[in-house]
Amino acid sequence: MFTSNPATTKQFRAVMFADIAGSTRIYSQLGDNKAEKLISNQLAKMADITKDYQGRVIKTIGDEIMCQFPDATNAALAAIKIQQQKSWIEDGLALNLRIGLHIGETIAKKGDIFGDAVNMAARMTAIAKSKQIITTEYFVQHLNSNPTINTRFFDKTHIKGFSGDIEVHQILWELDDATDFAIAPNAFLPLQQQTILSLTFNNKEYSYNNLEKAISIGRDDSCDIAIYTPFVSRSHLQLEFRRGKFVLIDHSTNGTYIQFKHQPEIFIRREELSLIGEGTIGLGESNQENNTNNLYFKVFRK
């Protein structure tokens, strides 16, 4: 006869991992004693913020903290606060953090927690770069309406051990990012002046005028412009309209190559770049003359 273990319980909880980026470099730069004190103080600060948002610290693992929260909103607010109150090293050098979040059923046992929600939160932390908060679409769906929490689509990716592609989102916490996200697209553009983006691929032209919604480009059929070439990611990039400018946001594995007319080529990966004038965009591969995989752009006003 099976008897359940009273010390094991299942709960629906939000899980957060917060990791100090580049800790090896910090130890090398500051020395063991100073670096250990700085990192310990940062972990203690993160633990205090976790408690402020009804969370509980499960454990610390070296330079990483693992926490759980009763809901997604408290977890997101705690993550934002942790990023905003990170410690600073002398000479203006920041102790930068990367944070991953997910929500779902967890198994609590002997003070620790286990389950897919924990594993997914850890995967989100691995995806996050320094100064980022990364989470899943499922987590975003569980956020309550809160004006201080802004999110945007980040990428679609396959997570080992999970079926299908997972839609990944970024929680914005820096003032510039949050402001860009919140401002209406046409707020700074005179009504009589319109900004036009023209894109040409395989002799087909697409024209966009003061976007209200981002354009998605990638290999997936759900993208606004689907491009089936070897180096293109399922969701390779987005084009957004902000403050009178078109901004290219790369979400890809292989990056994007942008070459403005008569200028050297620029490579970006998981970064943003404003499009001006005209030029070519290479999805996952460098722009080359007569390359049929090039996407041509032109930005102009009328």
What is the tens place of the pLDDT at every residue in 259-272?
A: 988 888 889 988 88
Q: How many helices (H) and strands (E) does the chain have?
A: 6, 21
Q: Which of 65, 52, 61, 49 is nearest to 15 (CA)?
A: 65
pLDDT of residue 26: 75
Range 8-181: architecture per CATH: 2-Layer Sandwich (3.30)
pLDDT of residue 291: 67
pLDDT of residue 159: 76
pLDDT of residue 181: 41
Place of tokens 């610390």: 60
Taking only the tens place, the pLDDT of each residue in 207-265 is 888 667 789 999 998 888 999 888 999 999 999 887 678 889 999 999 999 998 888 88
pLDDT of residue 301: 77
pLDDT of residue 3: 41
Q: Which of 148, 37, 154, 7 is nearest to 84 (CA)?
A: 148
Which CATH class for the 195-301 domain?
A: mainly beta
CB burial class (10 A; 0-12, 13-18, 19+) of residue 187? Answer: exposed
pLDDT of residue 137: 92
Task: Specify which residues 18 forms β-bridges with.
Answer: 65, 99
pLDDT of residue 261: 86
**Average pLDDT taken over every residue of the chain:** 83
**Cα-based distances in Å from 288 to 217, 233, 253, 285, 291:** 20, 19, 20, 9, 5
pLDDT of residue 4: 45
pLDDT of residue 187: 34
Rounded to a whole number, what is the distance in angstroms from the first to the last CA of the chain?
A: 78
Asked if 217 and 224 count as a contact pair (C-beta separation under 8 A), the reply is yes
Alpha helices in 168-256 (DSSP H): 175-182
Report the SS3 class of residue 91.
coil
**Cα-based distances in Å from 53 to 11, 29, 104:** 18, 33, 18
Asked if 248 and 237 count as a contact pair (C-beta separation under 8 A), the reply is yes
**Cα-based distances in Å from 30 to 97, 160, 187:** 18, 36, 46
Q: Which of 173, 91, 188, 85 is nearest to 128 (CA)?
A: 173
pLDDT of residue 55: 96
What backbone phi and psi angles, to 5 degrees, belong to 130?
A: -50, 135
Which residues in the chain are classed under CATH 2.60.200.20? 195-301
pLDDT of residue 107: 93
Structure tokens at 40: 């310990």
pLDDT of residue 16: 98
Question: CA-CA distance, 62 to 136, in Å (whole number)?
Answer: 25
pLDDT of residue 197: 92
Which residues in the chain are classed under CATH 3.30.70.1230? 8-181
pTM: 0.58
Instruction: Enumerate residue ranges in the chain where pLDDT < 70.
Output: 1-7, 87-94, 175-193, 210-211, 243, 289-291
Dihedral angle of Cα 96, 275, 241, 191, to the nearest 10 degrees: 140
CA 289 to chain CA centroid, nearest Å: 33
Per DSSP, 212 falls in state S
